[in-house]
Amino acid sequence: MRYTPAGLPAVNFVLDHESEVTEAGTTRQVKLSIKAVAFGALAEQAGRLPLGQAFKFSGFLISARTNKSVIFHIQELNPI
């Protein structure tokens, strides 16, 4: 947990996703790791999430300040 210069709680972490999808009649393994950030009360909640448990996250993607990666800004999270 960190705090912005304005005093807003913030938490940075990495989300991992694994699933199988069917594409053009073939099963494909999908794996993704993405940097994520949450602010405010949601940051406090996200900071207490148990590792390895499945959750559904909603939010939006932005380019990192370096423009070399993408960051997922979380606006909602729910256990699956």
7-17 pLDDT, tens per residue? 999 999 999 99
Outline where 1-80 has alpha helix (H). 41-46
Q: Is residue 46 classed as helix, strand or coil in its secondary structure?
A: helix
Pairwise CA distance, residues 19 & 7, whole Å: 37
Instruction: Give the mean model confidence (pLDDT) for residues 9-29.
Output: 94
| pLDDT tens column, 46-73 | 888 888 888 999 999 999 877 788 999 9
Q: How far is CA 6 from the centre of its chain?
A: 23
pLDDT for 47:
83
pLDDT for 54:
86
Percent of the chain at pLDDT > 90 equals 74
Q: Is residue 42 classed as helix, strand or coil in its secondary structure?
A: helix
Pairwise CA distance, residues 14 & 12, whole Å: 7
Give domain 2-79's CATH architecture: Beta Barrel (2.40)
Map out the domains of the chain as residue ranges. Answer: 2-79
